[in-house]
């Protein structure tokens, strides 16, 4: 560890719970797509695919955060919080769009 930097424990439980919840939301959207008309189904499928990619990236960042050293964890936390914010906005938008 570098001189002057302290280990910054990062609690990942809230991130893990949020990922699970968003995974459920994606499955609900996918279910709606399966029941929708062809044109709407294609649009929902595209949204779900894009959101799944973002969710997978968030899961990857979370794993990196969990394995990072203390000082790096604090820096990485800022990045993951930004990714979380973007993912939340995209999911909220998709959910309201396909109600």
Under 8 Å between Cβ of 25 and 95: yes
Higher pLDDT residue, 49 or 32? 49
Look up residue 87 and give its two tokens.
Answer: 């993912």
Q: Number of folded domains in the chain?
A: 1
Q: Where are the alpha helices (DSSP H) in the chain?
A: 13-35, 38-67, 70-97
Any domain includes 83: yes
pTM of the prediction? 0.66
Place of tokens 């294609």: 42
Look over the chain and give the mean of its residue pLDDT values, rounded to a whole number. 78
Any domain includes 8: no
* Domain span including residue 85: 13-27+34-97
Mean of the pLDDT values across residues 50-73? 80
Place of tokens 């797509």: 33
Any domain includes 5: no
Dihedral sign from CA coordinates of 11, 26, 95, 31: negative
User: First-to-last CA distance in the chain?
Assistant: 50
């Amino acid at each position: 560890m570098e001189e002057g930097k302290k280990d910054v424990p990062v609690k990942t439980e809230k991130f893990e719970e949020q990922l699970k919840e968003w995974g459920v939301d994606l499955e609900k959207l996918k279910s709606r797509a399966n029941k929708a008309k062809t044109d709407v189904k294609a649009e929902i499928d595209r949204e779900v695919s894009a959101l799944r990619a973002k969710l997978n990236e968030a899961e990857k960042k979370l794993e990196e955060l969990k394995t990072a050293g203390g000082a790096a964890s604090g820096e990485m936390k800022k990045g993951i919080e930004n990714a979380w914010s973007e993912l939340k906005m995209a999911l909220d938008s998709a959910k309201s769009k396909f109600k």
